[in-house]
Every structure is written in structure tokens, then in C-alpha cells.
Amino acid sequence: MISGEDILLVGSTQKPYGIKGEIVIRFRKAEYADIDTECYFLKIEGIPVPFFVEEFTYSTDVIARVKFEDVDDEKAAARYVNIDIYLPRELVKSQPEQGMTDWDYFRGFTVTDQHGKRLGVIEEVDSSTMNVLFIVKNDEREYLIPATEDFIEAIDEEGNLMEMFLPDGLIEE
């Protein structure tokens, strides 16, 4: 069984399409739509459930119609509307670099500073402004840390760890 830390949010279902059970999917990035996969994961009651692809048709670079196995009519498709869609991190990681960093990839990574202090886990990525922020949370605090390659010292993808060198004053105690 795959865990929540092993998957990456790549889009969401939008609405049923037609009468054969197709569902419209909006991907967060065109690169995610280009990934060839036999299944997507939909979180059903908090559990990632694999849905196997029967047919896949592009509408635009970030929108596609997908027919999943065992979803055979519009009524069945309607049950899966407005649900986040995930792919395994390994599958996304194996894709060629697209030039710009996808900071969402680092959700679930544990962040430590240059002194080895564990700051917390990247729970969210705020990309609503020009300066993207990691929202790092632990039991006691929440930190807003700029998502920039300048601060990243090391990344352990297997262990979901990120070591950052943070300027004095950025993290107030």
C-alpha cells in the first residue's frame, strides 16, 4: 500500500464528461499531464486509492478527459468530482527536468537548519505571490521559509529530508 508521503498532488477531478464515465481532470502543470502512467491515486476518505486508466484524451495542455476502469457511466463518474489526484513521487522524479523547480514536490519533507535543528515538516507551499514560501510546521510553531535554491544545502529524497542554511533572523526563537 502506498502512503501519503509517497505521492505528489498533480491535479484534481473537475466534472463528468459524456455518458461513458469519463472525468475531466485539471493538472497543476502541463508536465504532469505528460507523465505516462497506468493509474492515478485519488484520496478517498483520506486513503490513496489507485484508479487505473482505460482511456486518456487531452483537451488542453493541462486538461484531459480520463476514463478509469470500472467507472462506466456518468453517475459513477459523478462520485469522483472535485477530488485531488496524485502520482507516485518516484514517477514524477524520474521525469526529465523542466527547467523550473516544482516546490510542491517537497511537501512532506522534514526541514533542518544548518545547526542540525529540526524545524518541522513542509506541510504546504504558498505560491500565491512571486516569492514562494514553504510552510513548515512542528508541534509548537509554524515557519514561513522562502523556497529558494540559495537556502537549500542538501536534499535526501529517499529520506524526505531537506537541510537549509537560513540567514540569521529568518527563524526567530
The predicted pLDDT at position 15 comes to: 92
Burial class (CB in 10 A: 0-12, 13-18, 19+), 167: exposed
The predicted pLDDT at position 173 comes to: 59
Domain boundaries, the chain: 4-93, 103-164
Closest CA to 143 of 107, 173, 109, 104: 173
**103-164 maps to CATH 3.30.1330.100:** no
When mean pLDDT is compared across 6-15, 16-25, 89-98, 143-152, the lowest value belongs to 89-98
The predicted pLDDT at position 101 comes to: 59
As assigned by CATH, the class of the 4-93 domain is: mainly beta
* pLDDT-above-90 percentage for the chain: 36
Q: Is the pLDDT of residue 41 over 90?
A: yes
Residue scoring higher pLDDT (18 or 99): 18
The predicted pLDDT at position 107 comes to: 85
Q: What values do phi and psi take at 92, rounded to 5?
A: -70, -40
Confidence band (pLDDT; 50, 70, 90) for 95?
Answer: low
What is the enclosing helix (H) or strand (E) of 89? helix 89-93
